[in-house]
A and B are shown apart, each in its own frame.
Chain A
Amino acid sequence: MDKFTKLTSSAIPLAIENIDTDQIIPARFLKATDKEGFGENLFRDWRFNKDGSINTEFPLNDKTYSGSILVAGDNFGCGSSREHAAWAVQGYGIKVVVSSFFADIFKGNALNNGVLPIQVSPAFLEELFAEIKKDPTTLIEVDLGNQKITILSADSSEDFDISDYKKTCLINGYDDIDFLVSNKDDIEAFEGSRA
C-alpha cells in the first residue's frame, strides 16, 4: 500500500449527494480477477454519454478541474461492499476524498487502499465547493499528521478525525493482514477456549 503523509493539490468537485458504488464502478466492470484498470471506468456512466462520447459537462472531464482530491456530496460511497470502487478511485489517481459523510464500507475499503476519506462539516464542504467554483485552481492542503485540511486561498481550515491505528497504517503503508497474522497465538488460544 502507498504511504500517505501530506498532500497539496487542486480538487475536482462532485456536488452530488448519495453517490453509490454502482456509480463509482458499475457492476459490469467487476469481472476482473485482479485490481488493475478500474480507474479507467471510474464513474463510467456519468463520464460517458449513451453513444460512448465523452460527457464534457461532467467535472472529471471538465479541463477546468484537476488534482488528486475529490470533493463530493453527502453520504459518499453508499451501497455495495465492492472494493472495486476504492480501486477505481485510487486507480484514477485520487488520493483524498472529502465529503460531509461517508458510508462505512467504502470508508474502510478506501483506507485499506491508501486513499484517505476526510469527513468535514457541511459548512466546510459548502465552503470547499464555493472556493473551487470561484477558482478551480485553488489549492487544498491535507496534513494527515496534524489531521488538518486547509483551503489555502481562503486560509480556512478544519481538523478531521481518523483512528490512530489507521493513521499509522497510512503513514507507513501497513495493512491489517500483517497485524492480524502477528496475533495468531491469541487467535488460536481463543479458539481453544471455545471448544
Chain B
Amino acid sequence: MKKTLFDKVWDAHVVKEMKNKLQILYIDKHLIHEVTSPQAFNELEQRGIPVFRPEQIVATADHNTPTTDQHLPVKDEMSRKQLEQLNKNCAKNNITLYDLGHKYNGIAHVMAPELGITQPGMTMVCGDSHTSTHGAFGSIAFGIGTSQVAQVFASQCLLLEKPKSLRITVNGTLKPGVLPKDVILYIIAKLGTNSGTGYFCEYAGTVFEEMSMEGRMTVCNMSIEMGARGGMIAPDETTFDYIKGREFAPQGEEFDKKTAYWKTLPTDEGAVFDQEYHFKAEDIEPMITFGTNPGMGIKIHENIPAEDNASFEKSLAYMDFKKGQSLVDQKINYVFIGSCTNGRIEDFRAAANYIKGKTKADHVTAWLVPGSQQVAKQIEDEGLKDIFEQAGFQLRQPGCSACLAMNDDKIPEGEYCVSTSNRNFEGRQGQGARTILASPLVAAATAINGKIIDITKQAV
C-alpha cells in the first residue's frame, strides 16, 4: 500500500493497537518546560510512579523567564518558584535541563533543532502547541496537555487515535519580500483557524522544497493556528545538511545509516490523503493580520474585509479597526521580533538586512528577542548586534518573551504591536494589547518607518 510520510513515521511507532481505533504510540523525544510540567511531576509523585525514560526527556526554561539580567535571581516570586520547581524535578529524576544562562538554553522549539535533538522519522511531544515546529524535519511532533505529559513520563507512550491526513501543496516561485511567515499566514487566512482540526498536515511542493530548514520550521510551527495538531515536510538533502555535525546528531557511520533510512520517509507517489489543498506561490504577498485570530489575515496592501458576523465585529472592535480600512500608514508604537516562530538567525538576518544603515522611528519601542543562547551568539558573531543597536533596537536575552507575555515583556493596553510571533488573540501580548502578526521583514520595516508600510512598493 502507498503510504504518506505521516503514515510511515506513525506506523513505525505503534506499540499496540487497541479496540475502538485507539493505538499506543511510542514517543522518542519529550521536551519539557517550567509551565506545563510541574503538575505532571506532582501527579506521578502522588501515584508513586517513576519517570520511565528520563534519558529521552530534555528540559528548558523558556516561557516564564526574564529577557534582561538573566544572571540575577528572577524578581517575580511565582516565576522564580516555577523555575526552581523545574530544577528540582529534573535533578530528582535525572533529566537534562538547559536552565537559564546555560549555553544551550532557549525556547524548546529553537533549542532542540539547533542541537540536533530533532531528527527525521522521530515522534516528539512537548506541553506546548507549537511543538509542530519539529515536523519541519519529517518528524511527527505535536503539543500535549499536562495529563499527557504525565502519561509520557510514566510510559514514554500516549494513547491516541490516528489523525486524518491533509496535504497542502504550494508550487511556483515566491515573490521578493515574501518570507516563510507570509506563506503560512496566507494559507491560514485562506483556510481558517479550524480547517486542520483532526488532521496532521504535510506541506509539499516546490516552495517548501526550496525553503531553508529555518523557513520550514516557521511554516510547521503555525500548523496549530489552523487547528492541525502537527505539520510535516519531507526530509531531503537540505534536512540532512542541517543536521550533520550538530551536537546530538548521529555521527560518522551512524549518520549515513540514519540518512539511508530518512530517505525512505517521503510520501509514496500515489499515496492518498483525506484532504488536499493547492496554492500558487505567485499569489502570495507579504501578509499582516487585522483581527484576533491568525486566520484574520490580509495581504499588506489589501483592505480589511466586511463580514457581517458578531464574532468578527467583536474582534474588530477589540483591535479598533473598521471594515474596509487599509492598515498601510497605521501608526505603530511597538515591534517584537522573536518567538519559536521567528526567533532564529535567518529571521534576524532578514530584519538586519532591512535595518542596516537606518534608524528606528523615535516613537517605536522595538524588542529583538533571540530564540536561544546560540542564536544570541550568532547575532553577535555575525555583527548583527551592532546593526540593531545603531538602529535603536533593544536586543534582549532569549526566551518566549512578548509572544505570550508571561514575563515582564508586555505590550501596554490599547497599543498596537507588529509582532513576528504566532498568535494575535485578545490580550495575548498583555492585557488590552493589540497584536498584528507579520514576517520579520515587515516587522523591521514597521519599526524603521513608525507605521505599517506597503513593503511590496520597496525594493527588498
- State the CA gap A79–B293 with chains docked (Å): 9
Report the Cα distance A108→B148, complex, angstroms: 9
Interface string of B69-95 (1 = CB under 8 A from A): 000000010110110010000000000
Of residues 158 through 187 on chain A, the ones whose CB sits less than 8 Å from some CB of chain B are 163-165, 175-177, 179-181, 183-184, 186-187
Chain A residues with CB below 8 A from B155, complex form:
177, 180-181, 183-184, 187
Known contacts A18-B193, A79-B129, A165-B22, A176 near B151 by CB under 8 Å: yes
In-complex Cβ contact of A50 among B35, B63, B159, B413 (8 A): B413
Find out whether the CB atom of A180 lies under 8 angstroms from the CB atom of B36.
no
Among B26, B131, B227, the residue within 8 A (CB) of A187 is B26
Are B16 and A186 in contact, CB atoms less than 8 angstroms apart? Answer: yes
Residues of chain B contacted by A35 (CB below 8 angstroms): 39
A41 in the interface (beta carbon within 8 A):
no
Q: Are B197 and A104 in contact (CB under 8 A)?
A: yes
Q: Are A18 and B293 in contact (CB under 8 A)?
A: yes
What is the chain A residue whose CB lies nearest that of B427?
A45
Select which of B24, B311, B405 is within 8 A of A17 by beta carbon. Answer: B311
A105 lies within 8 A of B427 (CB)? no
Q: Is the CB of A163 within 8 A of B129?
A: no
Q: Does A80 reach chain B (CB closer than 8 Å)?
A: yes
What's the minimum C-beta distance from A125 to chain B, rounded to whole angstroms?
13
Inter-chain contacts of A23 with B (CB < 8 A)? 425-427
Within 8 Å of chain B (Cβ to Cβ): is A86? yes
Contact of A16 with B by CB under 8 A: yes
Q: With a CB–CB cut-off of 8 A, which chain B residues contact A191?
A: 26
| B432: Cβ under 8 A from any A Cβ | yes
A34 touches B42 (CB 8 A): yes
Q: Which stretch (A4-12, A24-32, A56-64, A140-148) binds chain B? A: A24-32
Contacts of A176 in B (CB 8 A): 147-148, 151, 158-159
In the complex, the answer to whether B427 meets A26 with C-beta atoms within 8 Å is: yes
Bound-state Cα–Cα, A194 to B431, Å: 49
17 of the cross-chain contacts (CB-CB < 8 Å) are: A18-B193, A20-B293, A22-B428, A23-B425, A28-B431, A33-B39, A33-B85, A35-B39, A81-B129, A81-B145, A82-B145, A108-B148, A163-B22, A176-B151, A180-B151, A181-B154, A187-B155
Binding site for A on B (CB under 8 A): 15-16, 18-22, 24, 26, 35-36, 38-39, 42-43, 47, 49, 52, 63-64, 76, 78-79, 81-82, 85, 127-129, 131, 143-148, 150-151, 154-159, 161, 193-194, 197-198, 224, 227, 229, 293, 309-311, 314, 404-406, 413, 423, 425-428, 431-432
